[in-house]
Chains A and B, each alone.
Chain A
Amino acid sequence: MTTTPNGTPAWTRATDHTFYGGNVNKRNYQDEPIVNPRTDVSANAIQRMAADLAAVARMADFCNIAFSASAAGSSVTVTACRTMAGILSGSYAGSSPPAGFPSVTHVSASVLSIAIGGGYSDDYSVNAVFAPAFAGATCTSGTYATKAYVSGTAMVMVESGTSSGAYHVWIA
């Protein structure tokens, strides 16, 4: 029998303390205090843990990606990528991502795009859609302030003074 976790994966940002057994009415049996503070965990502590875990899950980055791009935009190579759904082993050409990883493509002389929406599966094979909402980027080249922003429901745009350079982008 396969266990199915409560709720949906963290990247749906629908996390709630009830996913983890939290309940505003949860209490110790017969409302009695804990028996031995050295060995017991109270209902209140479990609730607090559930609420804080939900908050952390809500705020965690979905993806951290590092890639390098040439000035002409002819090549984009993803050198590292971590998503909630998996960690990249090796590297890949930005336009040909392995399953579960985003594509990174050249748009213009100073703009790149990261396609990262859609369905992902968690460790329990529960599939849910990730929609990027926030992003940030840094680039090693140029003095222009690199910026990253969400465009539509499944795209993150990255702008810099030039496409050339090594980038690091986080997406949440």
Chain B
Amino acid sequence: MSGFGALCPLPLRLGGRDATTSWTSADHAAAVRDLVLVARVTPFAHLVVTRTGSAVAVTRYRGVNGSGSTAAPTITLATDTLHAVYPMAWDDERGERREVSITQAVATPANATQGPVTTTINASSGRVRVSVAALVDGGAVQITVWGCYLDAAQIADYDGATDKTDSETEAEPYAATMLAMLRDARGSGFTRSRGGLVHVENLALARAHGATWRRAERLACAGNPALALETAEDWRKVLGVRRRDGDTDATLRTRNAAKLRAMLGATRQTVDDAVAELLGPLYVRTWRNYGSETIVDDNTGTFWPGINPGTPTSDLGGGAWYSDRQHIVVEVTRSARVSDAEFAAKMTDLVELLDLMLPATCTFDWCTGADDGFTLDEDLLDEGCLG
């Protein structure tokens, strides 16, 4: 449905029946994705500093945090070296506190008088200092800085999530549906025009009913850990899911949902579904050492006394036998956009989930390659299977 206004107020509901009046989940995902991509490479600020005698002044400033001298960093001059000191946080134009970390800077001459300059950057005491050496009297330098502010943007900032989809329940605004129903329900003695008291009453009732329908839908979502937002924390506690620093609503929902699936039992399908739900786009497939085989088929690595002797090293003694039928490997993929911390957290979640779901006789591991082989541990060096 999407849209803002009397019959479709915020929140925006993605999807709809008509491309001319709606915004789909794919549209939203593209906008969110590209905004994040562009934000990552956007400089934090440009500024021009001019020196006159021993005085320095910011003559131009434009940054992510605003424009003009009020947004500019504090500058000082020590001999011929300019220091621009950035704090670690700003309030954005909506008054929201945003942390920033300046990590790169480059200074260039900005008038005919100024010769080449050199730039250094260092952080201490909660501030970042950009130093520019060889600023001459009458000279000017332009400094461009990059840092984590917008480039730390993530799709979740804009309610983006990898499981976003179009609304199937409110493809037509609830209030619009109700308004049509109310008009039809009125007798022929009531006007159907868009002006007048009848329309006002219909509209007010339609909006009220629309809100009620939304509440009912929200209540239904609250009962599903994959969709619960207001009750996500309750689900987390009930299911015993750990909260991590930096968790987004979407990651918590997926962990809650995967944990609930684990309670359905360790069938092949439920394991695959739970793992796929947890990992999202990181999941490739689950590898098993059996397919349509029956248990009587020999399997490499199986030691079954009297049937498949296997290698002596597979004999656990006392008639116990070993089989890699009970071993599964979850193949995952990772892209540059996934940080080491995010990836490690996901893999930890995966290990916890499989440990919970699978019977004690089953072993498991994960890998980032589909080659035959084994993984040693979770060290980045060993993400690929060593064949």
Contact = CB atoms under 8 A, between A and B. Distances in A.
Contact of A56 (B31, B35, B62, B65): B35
Nearest to A39: B167
B379 to A, nearest CB: 35
A48 B144 CA distance: 24
B95 A35 contact: no
Interface string A136-148: 1000000001011
Interface residues of B, number: 70
Contacts of B10: 26-29, 42-43, 46
A22 B31 CA distance: 16
A58 interface: yes
Interface string A29-47: 1101111111111110111
Given A56-B39, A149-B110, A48 B157 contact: yes
B270 interface: no
A40 B23 CA distance: 11
Nearest to A36: B221
B218 interface: yes
A28 B48 CA distance: 41
Interface in B18-39: 25, 28, 31-32, 35, 38-39
Nearest to A44: B159
Contacts of B218: 32-36
Contact of A49 (B35, B60, B115, B230): B35
A54 interface: yes
Interface in B151-202: 153, 157-159, 161, 163-170
B157 to A, nearest CB: 5
A3 B165 CA distance: 28
Contact of B112 (A42, A133, A135, A157): A157
A129 interface: no
B158 A48 contact: yes
B96 to A, nearest CB: 8
Given A43-B11, A49-B32, A36 B64 contact: no
Contacts of B114: 147
B167 A133 contact: no
Contacts, number: 176
A48 B92 CA distance: 10
Contacts of A149: 109-112, 140, 142
B221 A58 contact: no
Contacts of A38: 161, 163-165, 226-227
Nearest to B215: A32
A52 B109 contact: no
A1 interface: no
A158 to B, nearest CB: 11
Interface in B112-170: 112, 114-116, 140, 142, 144, 150, 153, 157-159, 161, 163-170
B46 A40 contact: no
A47 B94 contact: yes
A110 to B, nearest CB: 11
Contact of A55 (B11, B48, B64): B64
A52 B62 CA distance: 15
Interface string B313-327: 000000000000000
Contacts of A172: 46, 62
A106 to B, nearest CB: 16
A37 B161 contact: yes
B159 A45 contact: yes
Nearest to A40: B11
A60 interface: yes
A51 interface: yes
Interface string A144-172: 01011110000001010000000000001
A24 interface: yes
Given A59-B62, A149-B109, A49 B217 contact: no
A16 B66 CA distance: 10
8 contacts: A17-B93, A35-B217, A36-B221, A49-B157, A52-B157, A58-B62, A59-B43, A145-B116
Given A59-B63, A134-B48, 15 more contacts: A17-B94, A26-B10, A27-B10, A32-B218, A35-B218, A36-B218, A38-B161, A38-B165, A41-B28, A45-B157, A46-B10, A51-B94, A56-B38, A56-B42, A136-B142
Interface of B: 4, 9-15, 25, 28, 31-32, 35, 38-39, 42-46, 48, 60, 62-65, 67, 92-96, 108-112, 114-116, 140, 142, 144, 150, 153, 157-159, 161, 163-170, 211, 214-215, 217-218, 221, 226-227, 229-230, 249-250, 253
